Structure 1
C-alpha cells in the first residue's frame, strides 16, 4: 500500500517541478520588471504558488487516480503504466504551448492567458496569427522546446512506469479509496476553508509581476474558461446595490444642465475616426514625442482638444463599445461575447439615423471579428464596408491598409446625401506593425515599427483631409478623432495599472467649429465613453439612453474617468487617480497617497462603478 502512495507522491512531485520550471522561465523573461525587487521576494513567488500548483496537479491526477482505484480493487499485483507516459507527454506538450503563448500575451496585454485569448484564437485564427506575428519567434520556439524536452526528461526520471500492489485485505483497500478521493478533492478545492481556492490565494506582493508569476498558468486558464460561461452573477460586489447605485447616480448628476456649443450648426456631417492604438504618448502635444504624429499635432492647434481623456480598456472591442455605445468595460469580461446583450446597448448611430443622418461604417479588417458586425448591423448603420468589399486585397495581415480604407470612404462620402455620420476603425497601427512602404523609424524592434505605423496612419489622416477640403461637404463637417485604446509603446509603459497607459487624445476638428474655439483645450478628466453624449449635445439631440456617457462640454459635469483590465480597475478625477486589483484586493497605484480621504472616495467610486455596470450587463 505504501508503494502505491509513493506513486502519487512522485507523480505530484513531477508536476510541481514542471510548474516550477515554467514559473522560472516566466520570471526570467520578465526579469527587467523585477530588477529592483529583492531576491527574497522573487524566491517567495515559488512558495506562494504551491496552493494553485497543487490544485492544478490534483485536476491532472484525476485520470491516473481512477485507473489506480480500478487496479487496486481488481486484485492485480503488477500494472504496466505505459499509457501514463503517453498521457503525461500529451499534457506536457499542451501545457508547454499554453506557457509560451502566455509569455507573449503577458508581454502585450499585461495579463495571463485567459478565455478571451483562447476565444480570440478559435473564432478568428487569422487575426490571432497576425497579432502574434510581432512576438519573438526564436525565443518562443526555444522556450517551447526547452519546456517539452525538460518535461520529458524529468518525467522519465521521476514518474513510475510500473505499479506494484502489496497483498492487503479488501477492507483496507476499500478504506484507502475514499481517502484518496477526499484528498484529491481537498487539493482541487484548496483545503477545508470557507472559500474555495482562487487566484488571490497566490497574491502576496505589491509587485504585480510576482503575483502573476505565482498564479498557475493552466489553473488560471481553466478557471477563466469556466467563469466565461457565467454571466448570471456579479463578481464585483463591494456595496449594497442601493449604495453602489447612489455613488454612480451622484457621478452623473451635474449641478446644472448646460452645454458650451462649439459648432456653427447643430446639423453638421459627423465623421468619426477610431484610431488603432493611437495613444496620447505618440503625440508631441500630449506625449512630448517628436515627429511621430506631426499632422495630428497641427490639427490640435486648429481644433478642440480634450487633453485628459482615458480609454475604457486596453483592447479594441472595449474601446469600440465605449466610443459607440457609451458602455464602460467589465474588467475581466467583455460585452461583445454576448451578441444578445450587445444588441440591447444603445449606439451613437441610432439617434443620428433617427434624426435624418445617413450612416456608414468602414473597416479594413474582418467585421465579424469580436462581433463587431453584430453590433454595427443592429444599430442602424445603413452601410458596412470591410475587407471583403475591396476588389484588390491588401497585403496587411489584418486586411486593407488605412490609405485604402480612407480612399474608399472618401469615394463613398462624395456620393452620400447630407447630413451623414461616417465611422472608420483603422488597423494598420496594430501589431505586427506592417506597412505598405518604407518605415519612417526603421524596423529594428517593435517600438520602431510601432512608431512607423503610427506615422503612416497620421499621414493617411492628413491625405484624407487634404482631399476632403476640396469637396462641397467639407465645410459642414465635424471630424472627431479618438483612439480605441492606449498602448505600452512607445514609452514602454509595461504596467497595465498606470493611468498613462490609458491616456488617449480626443479631438474635434473642422471648419464647422466656431473660430473662437479653434485651438481651445479642455482639461477636465473624461472618458472615451463620453464621446456619445458630448457629440449628441452639440447636435441638440437627447442622449438619455447613454446612461454611462456624460457631456464633456457641460461645464457643470463632474470630471472623472473609469478604466479597467482583467480583474483590475482604475478611477480618476481632477484631483487623484487610484487603481485597484480585484483579485489581490490591493491598491496598485495612488497618484497622491498623502490625501487619504480623497483616495478612499476615489476607490469607493471605482468599486461602485464596476459593480453597477456589471449588474446592468447581467440584466441586459
Structure 2
C-alpha cells in the first residue's frame, strides 16, 4: 500500500491525461468538420482502442517524470558526494560556455538550450546542497513545477490537436512537423488568428487549478522519499510497462484500418501520429510503395508519352507555327477552392472579378491540384511532375538545377522572377527558386513606403501587385520578354487585410473575406496592368495552389482537390476546356499556346494536343492518387493499393463541366491496367528524382 502511494504522481497524471484525451475525442467526434456518422463498432474502436493507445503513449511520455523522481534523494548531498557532483555540474557548464563543446558542431540553438538547462540544474543543486534547512520546501516547489509542466503540456496538446483538427480535419501529420520548423510564421499566424492572450490566460489558470488537486494527492513520493529498494521496484514496474508500450503502440496503430478515414483519425493518438509524421517525412517510394520493374514502368509510361525512349522522359516538342514570345505572368492563388466561384455553385458572390474574367479566358474547368499544400502547387506548376511521396521537391535538399518552366523561359531569352509578398525563406521557396535560376522578389525587397498593410504571412496582395507592376514596367524597357511567377498570401488564415476595401471588414478574420479581398486585389492588378504598354503582349495564367481544406471522409476526397484555372490574354479566344487534367499540365499547355519548340522532360502535357489522354494526379504526403476512366487509384505505404469508382453527386443548378462532388465507391474488381499506370507514373517520377535525371 505504501508503494502504491509512492506511485501517485504517475497514476494521477495518467488519469488526468485519459480524461482530457477522452473529452477531446468526444469534441472531435461531434465537430462540424467530422463529416461522418459512426456505427456502434466504430465508436467502440474510437473510444475503446483509443483509450488503450493513450495509456501506452502516456507510459512513454512519463519517461522524464520517472527519471526526475528516481534521482530524488538526500544522500547525494552528503560529503563529499554533494561537492563532487556540484563540481561536475560547474565543469560541464564551463565546457559548454567555452564554445568548443560537441554541441557546437550541430550549431543552431542547441548549445544555448543545453547551457540554460545545465545552468538551472547547477543553481538548483547548489541551493539544495547549501541550504539543507530549506531543502524540503525547495524540493516541494520543484516537484510542483514538474507536475505543473506535465499538466500544462497535456492541456496544451489537447488544445493543439483541437485547432489542428479545426484546420485540417485530421490528427497531427506531416504538416504539424513542418509547422515546428517555421515557428515564426506559424506562431505569428496563431497570434493573429485566435484570441491567444485569453486562451493562454485561461490555460494557465486551469493548469494551476488541476496542478493543485493532483499535487495534493501526489506528494507522498517527496515527503517520504522511497528507499533504494522501493526505487528499484518502481523502476522494474515502469521499465516493464515502457517495454510493453514500445510494442503495443505500433500494434494498436495497425487496427486503424477502417475505410472511414475519420474513424482511424479519431482512434489514433495525436502524439504517436506526430512521431510517425516526423519519422516518415522522407518517404522512399521504392521501400514503401508497390513497384514494378523499372523497364516495365517506363514501358507503361511510354503509352502515355509515346515519344520517350529508355528510362527517362526526354522528348522533342515541335510546333508547326512560329514561336510567340509574349510576356507571361503566372499567378498562383493561395488556398483557392473551385467552389468559391459562382460557376462551381457558390452563391455568395465572393469572386465577382474572377467570375467575369473567366468568361473572357480559356477556362480549364476540370483541373485538379496535385496536393494540399502551397509547396505542392508550386512544385506542380514549376517542375510539372507528379507529387512524389514525402515532402515536396521544393523543400528537399536536392531541389536545385531541375528541369523547370523557368528553365524553358530562360532558353527562350526571358527574364525569370518569382514574386512573393512574404519571406521567401518560408517553405524553402527562396532556396528552391534561386537554385533554379529565378530572381527573387519578396518582402525583403519592399521599402517601408511600399507597404500599406502586412500580417505574419507578408504584405497584402495589393502591395504585392503594385510592386509587380513596378518590376514589370522596368522589365519591359529592357527589350526582353519576362516571365513572372507571383504567389499570393492574403487568402490565408488569419485572413486579415486592409479595411474599407470590400464589404467584409479586414479585422473580422473571415475566410470569405480573404477570398473576396483576393478577388478585389486581382481586379486592382488587372486594372493597373491594362494601362501599361506591355499588357496587350502578355499572357496571364491564373491558378490556385491548392484548395482551402483537405479534410474529408476518404483519403483523397475529390472536391478537396478541384481548383479553378484559366489563361487570359487579349489574343486568346475565350472558351472552355472540359477534359480532366492536372495542375502539372498547365504550363506545358501555355507553352503550346505560345508555339514553343523545346526538348521536354515534363510529365505534364499540352492538353490541347490531340494525343493527350485525360488523367489527373492528387496526393497527400503519403497517399498517391491517379484519376482516370472515372476511377481513383490510390497507392499507399506498405505496398497498399485501393481503387474507387467515382459516381457523380450532382449539385442542382450547376453546369455539368463544373460539377465537383463524387461518391467514392470501392471497386469490386481491380483494374490492373490502371494500377500499373499509377505505379508507372509515381515510380518513374521517383526514379528520375532519386537518380538525378530530372536536371535541366
TM-score (norm 2): 0.74
Matched residue, 2:297: 245
**1:92 matched residue in structure 2:** 151
- Structure 2 counterparts to residues 61-140 of structure 1, below 5 A: 61-65=62-66, 86-114=145-173, 116-130=175-189, 133-135=192-194
- The one-character-per-residue Cα deviations of 1:479-519 (angstroms, maximum 9, x if unpaired) are 11111111139xx9787731111111121110232xxxx22
Give the match for residue 430 of structure 1. Answer: 492
The alignment partner of 2:598 has SS state of: coil
| 382-391 or 130-139: bigger deviation | 130-139
Q: Does 1:596 align with 2:597?
A: no
Q: 1:140 to 1:570 in 2, by over 3 A?
A: farther
Q: Distance in 1 between matches of 2:258 and 2:226?
A: 47
1:191-249 deviation digits (Å, cap 9, x = unpaired):
8xxxxx16842515333233212221122223333444x56675632234538835862
Contact 2:589 2:605 in 1 (8 A): yes
Change (3 A) 1:419 1:165: closer
Partners of 1:493 and 1:444 lie apart in 2 by 29
Matches within 5 A, 1:493-504: 497-504=556-563
CA positional deviation for 1:354: 2.1
Question: What is the Cα-based RMSD across aligned positions, in Å?
Answer: 4.2
Match of 1:268 among 315, 320, 326: 326
Q: CA deviation at 1:371?
A: 1.0
SS of the equivalent of 2:448 reads coil
More moved, 249-258 vs 434-443: 249-258
Q: Are 1:414 and 2:473 counterparts?
A: yes
Partner SS, residue 504 of structure 1: coil
User: Deviations along 1:373-397, whole A, 9 cap, x unmatched?
Assistant: 1112122224524354243234231
Which whole-Å CA distance do the structure 2 matches of 1:161 and 1:270 have between them?
A: 73
Of 25-34 and 130-139, more deviation after overlay is shown by: 130-139
Residue from 596, 605, 618 that aligns with 1:563: 618
Deviations 1:386-420 (A, max 9, x none): 35424323423122221222122122222223311
Could you tell me how far 1:599 is from its partner in structure 2? 5.9
- Given the alignment, which residue of 499, 504, 517 partners 1:456? 517
Pairwise CA distance, 1:18: 0.7
CA contact (8 A) 2:318 2:597 kept: no
1:176/1:161 Cα in 2 relative to 1: closer, same or farther (>3 Å)?
closer
SS of 1:431's equivalent in the other structure is coil
Further displaced range: 557-566 or 466-475: 466-475
Secondary structure in 2 aligned to 1:133?
helix
2:596 corresponds, among 531, 540, 555, to 540
Deviates more, 1:108-117 or 1:449-458: 108-117
Would you say 1:321 and 2:382 are equivalent positions? no
* Aligned equivalent of 2:430: 373
CA distance in 1, matches of 2:562, 2:465: 25
**Among candidates 414, 439, 443, match of residue 357 of structure 1:** 414
1:286 is the counterpart of 2:344: yes
When residues 118 and 150 of structure 1 are mapped into structure 2, their CA distance, relative to the original with a 3 A threshold, is farther
- The separation in 1 between residues aligned to 2:418 and 2:227, in whole angstroms, is 75
Partner of 2:536: 475
Hey, what's the Cα distance between the residues in 2 that align with 1:591 and 1:154?
Answer: 54
What is the aligned counterpart of 2:242 among 170, 179, 184? 184
* Distance of aligned partners of 1:49 and 1:120 in 2 relative to their CA distance in 1, 3 Å threshold: same
C-alpha change, 1:126 and 1:353, in structure 2 (3 Å) is same
Q: Secondary structure at the match of 2:563?
A: strand
Structure 1 SS opposite 2:471: helix
Moved more, 470-479 or 57-66: 57-66
**8 A Cα contact 1:64 1:84, kept in partner:** no
Which has the higher Rg, Structure 1 or Structure 2? 2
CA contact (8 A) 2:331 2:542 kept: yes
Structure 2 CA distance for partners of 1:532 and 1:70, relative to 1, 3 Å = same
In 2, Cα distance between equivalents of 1:60 and 1:343: 40
CA distance in 1, matches of 2:635, 2:202: 32
The 1:543–1:308 alpha-carbon spacing in structure 2 relative to 1, beyond 3 Å, is farther
In 1, Cα distance between the equivalents of 2:154 and 2:320?
56
Give distance in 2, aligned partners of 1:223 and 1:530.
33
Alignment equivalent of 1:346, drawn from 392, 403, 418: 403
Going from structure 1 to structure 2, the CA distance change for 1:364 and 1:173 (only over 3 Å counts) comes to closer
Q: Which moved more, 1:559-568 or 1:142-151?
A: 142-151
- Aligned equivalents of 1:139 and 1:599: distance in 2? 55
Whether 1:212 aligns to 2:274 is no
Decide whether aligned partners of structure 1 residues 237 and 244 sit closer, same or farther in structure 2, where only a CA change above 3 A counts: farther
Conserved? CA contact 1:482–1:504, under 8 Å: yes
Cα deviations by residue, 1:78-112 (Å, 9 ceiling, x for unpaired)? xx995655434323312322331222122212332
SS for the counterpart of 2:604 is: coil
Give the Cα separation in 2 of the matches to 1:384 and 1:63. Answer: 46
C-alpha contact 2:177 2:277 (8 A) present in aligned 1? no
**Alpha-carbon distance between aligned partners in 1 of 2:597 and 2:640, rounded to the nearest angstrom:** 41
User: Is 1:484 equivalent to 2:545 in the alignment?
Assistant: yes
Which of 575, 578, 597 is residue 523 of structure 1 equivalent to?
Answer: 578
- What is the SS of the residue equivalent to 1:22? helix
